[in-house]
Structure 1
């Protein structure tokens, strides 16, 4: 009930926040613009402060310079647009000729005919807008018998100077008020940056002020660097587009360059939107098709260079958003705030993701929108096994093993996945058919992973490259004593199929390094099955256990193993042990020869026992090149493992 109430409360709060953002956009939109611009201008303010300039003066200077540049750019754009509007009728003949040529290539095309008619009507409307001062003649209405017409006089209201002034100023009040509001917001945000930070810390919580302060400062620096980098890259992109279009001969190239730079803030489709208008104008202004083709080539080349070379070098992964998150963010902000929201979508979403990484209450933003993996490698492996879909897990394992050894993969990924399974089994979430299905899928999956490791090891040997943490391969002539038998290493699970899965892992490691091994089920240690268990040829027996809460169960299994194979050495694989005290106490309790908590150390100890050569484990970890020099056999496990 509490969980349901919390979910409903969260949904209600989300709906209220979205409604406020929609209906209060007249205020929130200038505030958002001011926030983004303040991130961009903050480094410049800090630079002036380093020159001993007081902060208020530095803020005013930077804001004045920034908005002077914006207003100057807007004035030039207005002139260019006005010139372009006056030149549009000149291109009507060119469009008509191209339509005629296309119609000649395929006569009977009604769509082209309709396009020509529409363009003709557009031309008449444009000419009429610039009219010659002639009045339209209206045909007199014929009198209707029996109806007397009453003359009506229409007088224009006399407007005084004040009314005229109001009519001129009224359309400018909205944009002017918004601009002034943005300027005021920026000035106060930059001047009171530390005060706003402290208030945010107070709002979030004061339990860890040092870390929260460092996190917010780091977030501010990262966002400032990101937005400045994007501004610089998009400005250079727009400048290059403008120069290129001017060289090609597209009219009003300056306008399209500025528009391309601005639209590039729109994710994915910004460059395409920036191409549409200059492409239409290139088709209209040139009698041939070369100008249009050069325009498309210019946009394709510059976007490819910017997106694939420049941005990865200067930005890297600084956005921290997944492609799906960028698309969803663009859709949401465009719905809330229109075209300006489309331009601000990426910066605003980046701010939410950065806050989500540092503020626990906003963590869901980082999970939903951030580019960090939602699950760790071990969690992803566990989930794939539960879903009975091991293909993706095999690919992840293959990618991991290109730079690491199989034993490291077992310790860093497989062991935590088995620990997650152990926890779920202990609380009753993994039992019965689900647990059995997990065990079967795990055995099949790990056999595939071992086979991929064999293939990768062969490729590494051909390339003469070693991997850190690799263990040496044992040849048949290196085996000593009882290790020359058919199955000198036996791996047994202590209690259930999860312990058997861990036993499969260590047996696989032994086989992939040249040592014959077999896996026995935990049921073989019960009184009913113990007589059937044959351990006569075993040189080393490993008892694997993931549940250390009941040491008596481990001691019981160890006693049964000692009774069946008194001459074999005993290894305890306590894969969830976290300290040496647990290993030491259980070793003394059962008089074991080894008690280890990592698969790498266990595999190294098995190799040392098999060869009769007991170097330090540190030396065994460094023998990476020995694995590449040794011939490779195909691993084979008891219990359905793949060749």
Structure 2
């Protein structure tokens, strides 16, 4: 339907796209006090005059360039001959229009005809015969011109007529679309329509300003270099840059060819190409990302794919319209559930969340990619924030599958080894790429293995008790062995901040402090629970017990429930605790404050 109806659909689509560009200007005129019809006619007239001005500049510049080309014929001929010799005749053997053009410049045909020796010894010069078509009559010439000019004029006329009516009935069309798309949910449909309109308006206005600035920069640069028709190439750059990826290089190729024809050497051509390259790099890498790099919401691959598809369906016009048309599809997929696949395929938002991505990579055993992603995340975040936002939710996802027995032993091994590698790499312990014997089960096996490795490096109880009073933080896991892993992560977060933290499970710890340590060494006791609803009574009893054993130490309760279950923790109240934390970052900050207060 898109292909066979292109003669009708292309003008209508162009009109609707232009309406997004002109609509802000029309609204501004209406705010000034002009009527709806006057504002619309003024906006359309302004666009018409601008396009006619651009067309006049291009026609005038092309005419001037055509008149000056014969002067450059010798330079073109010499350079083509040099290139033909350099390519060992390959250039001269080209067929088609390119080969005919090269042969025209490089052939040494004489002005007159060659003499022919007859059998009787006489010399006879053949008579040259030229075939001329009869001169066209005025009406025939007029008809030929009209036949060539009429199709684009017809398309332009339809575009502007439809554009006027679209702008005049802008509010009515919006209401009709809302009724058609989702009259039952006016709020969601209104948000979708407004989002699409704002995104398209911002994108086109930003793109117009960027392309205009790029054209001006190319014009001024080529004028300073002395390239002929610099205004033409600047205008072509501004216009062709609406075609993604290839438009600017089409203008660069033409301008470089002219520079090569003007200058006997190659310096002017190289400087011309270098100017386009420098301007495009600056604009594409610095200006565009800041102006509308994330305005469209399209992934780079989707822009390329959409350009190929729409250019195949609608030709050059489809290439220009590919980005806004795909943007409309992505916005529709964002708000219409049946079209959600379009946002996932073409949108810039990640298809998987960071925890899902972590767990997926862990199932594949790709610890290296997880570490790389984590270090990129931690360029702007702390280790505690990474564990809160990525690592712990990913472990909950793995824990769900483990409880349901929905992963195979091989997958368990991959997840366990990946988690160990990532935690050790991020906490500055053993390098992640060194091979070790990994845990065979997910949960307690990982936590105890990580703790045993620290014990092997630092001794029993993860270090000596010959430390200043009030310098230890005891992290104790409640409940399941999965809590031991969460406790070990907390210890490594605290140690990364130079806090002497040590871990244990409640079943292993008979008293606080452990044998061989004086009570004065302990500054903070942190009880960690990954299932607070079931551990509530045990948490209350343990807090009361430790309050008697180490009354001077602060007691923190760290609750780390699954973020995917949204448990109601209002019943989990611990009045005897000095602080109840619900994230690693929260407990880290309170530990730092408590340690500083104890030091004072």
TM-score (norm 1): 0.69
Residues 419 and 546 of structure 1 are in contact (CA less than 8 Å); yes or no, is this contact kept in structure 2? no
Matching residue within 52, 65, 68 for 1:71: 52
Return the offset for 1:544. Answer: 4.6
Alignment partners' CA distance in 2, 1:566 and 1:444: 39
1:540-560 deviations in whole A, cap 9, x for unaligned?
8766543467x2x77689999
Matching residue of 2:489: 505
1:250 aligns with 2:239: no
Matching residue of 1:136: 130
Return the offset for 1:211. Answer: 5.0
Matching residue of 1:641: none
Identify the range of structure 1 (313-322 vs 178-187) with the bigger mean alpha-carbon deviation.
313-322
Matching residue of 1:530: none
Return the offset for 1:305. Answer: 3.4
Matching residue within 463, 469, 472 for 1:479: 469
Alignment partners' CA distance in 2, 1:218 and 1:117: 52
1:510-563 deviations in whole A, cap 9, x for unaligned?
44443242455xxx95xxxxxxx46455478766543467x2x77689999999
Alignment partners' CA distance in 2, 1:88 and 1:426: 79
| Change in 2 beyond 3 A, CA 1:519/1:396 | farther
1:590-612 deviations in whole A, cap 9, x for unaligned?
x9998653334445666788x69
1:265 aligns with 2:242: yes
| Change in 2 beyond 3 A, CA 1:560/1:46 | closer
Alignment partners' CA distance in 2, 1:117 and 1:375: 53
Residues 34 and 186 of structure 1 are in contact (CA less than 8 Å); yes or no, is this contact kept in structure 2? yes
Alignment partners' CA distance in 1, 2:72 and 2:23: 46
Matching residue of 1:575: 560
1:412-437 deviations in whole A, cap 9, x for unaligned?
33332233334444555346443454
Residues 494 and 554 of structure 1 are in contact (CA less than 8 Å); yes or no, is this contact kept in structure 2? no
Identify the range of structure 1 (82-91 vs 499-508) with the bigger mean alpha-carbon deviation.
82-91
Residues 422 and 546 of structure 1 are in contact (CA less than 8 Å); yes or no, is this contact kept in structure 2? no
Alignment partners' CA distance in 2, 1:199 and 1:565: 69
1:111 aligns with 2:98: no
| Change in 2 beyond 3 A, CA 1:452/1:228 | farther
Alignment partners' CA distance in 1, 2:406 and 2:162: 53
Matching residue within 383, 398, 411 for 1:421: 398
SS in 2 for 1:30: helix
1:449 aligns with 2:433: no
Matching residue of 2:502: 517
Return the offset for 1:234. Answer: 0.9
1:59 aligns with 2:59: no
1:190 aligns with 2:167: yes
Gaps of 5+ in 2: 110-127, 432-463, 515-521
Return the offset for 1:43. Answer: 1.5
Residues 407 and 600 of structure 1 are in contact (CA less than 8 Å); yes or no, is this contact kept in structure 2? yes
CA-based RMSD = 4.3
SS in 2 for 1:451: coil
Residues 333 and 340 of structure 2 are in contact (CA less than 8 Å); yes or no, is this contact kept in structure 1? yes
Matching residue of 1:599: 584
Alignment partners' CA distance in 2, 1:237 and 1:429: 56
| Change in 2 beyond 3 A, CA 1:606/1:53 | closer
Residues 442 and 501 of structure 1 are in contact (CA less than 8 Å); yes or no, is this contact kept in structure 2? no
Matching residue of 1:407: 384
SS in 2 for 1:204: helix
| Change in 2 beyond 3 A, CA 1:593/1:429 | farther
Alignment partners' CA distance in 2, 1:288 and 1:229: 39
Matching residue of 2:104: 122
Identify the range of structure 1 (285-294 vs 160-169) with the bigger mean alpha-carbon deviation.
160-169
| Change in 2 beyond 3 A, CA 1:172/1:364 | same
Residues 367 and 374 of structure 1 are in contact (CA less than 8 Å); yes or no, is this contact kept in structure 2? yes
Q: For residues 122-521 of structure 1, what are the structure 2 equivalents within 5 Å?
A: 122=104, 135-136=129-130, 169-430=146-407, 432-451=409-428, 477-480=467-470, 489=474, 491-492=476-477, 494-496=479-481, 498-512=482-496, 513-519=498-504
Return the offset for 1:389. Answer: 2.0
SS in 2 for 1:21: coil
Alignment partners' CA distance in 1, 2:537 and 2:341: 45
Alignment partners' CA distance in 1, 2:237 and 2:547: 78
Residues 188 and 335 of structure 2 are in contact (CA less than 8 Å); yes or no, is this contact kept in structure 1? no
Matching residue within 55, 80, 85 for 1:99: 80
Alignment partners' CA distance in 1, 2:465 and 2:317: 69
| Change in 2 beyond 3 A, CA 1:198/1:476 | farther
Residues 44 and 160 of structure 2 are in contact (CA less than 8 Å); yes or no, is this contact kept in structure 1? yes
SS in 2 for 1:199: helix
Q: Size of the alignment, in residue pairs?
A: 527
Alignment partners' CA distance in 2, 1:380 and 1:325: 21
Return the offset for 1:41. Answer: 1.0
Residues 332 and 339 of structure 2 are in contact (CA less than 8 Å); yes or no, is this contact kept in structure 1? yes
| Change in 2 beyond 3 A, CA 1:440/1:571 | farther
Residues 361 and 367 of structure 2 are in contact (CA less than 8 Å); yes or no, is this contact kept in structure 1? yes
SS in 2 for 1:489: strand
1:264-299 deviations in whole A, cap 9, x for unaligned?
122233322221111112212322223212312321
Residues 543 and 577 of structure 2 are in contact (CA less than 8 Å); yes or no, is this contact kept in structure 1? no
| Change in 2 beyond 3 A, CA 1:285/1:361 | same
Alignment partners' CA distance in 2, 1:200 and 1:445: 50
Matching residue of 2:7: 26
Gaps of 5+ in 1: 1-19, 128-133, 139-155, 455-473, 526-532, 616-625, 627-643
| Change in 2 beyond 3 A, CA 1:325/1:475 | farther
Matching residue of 2:18: 37
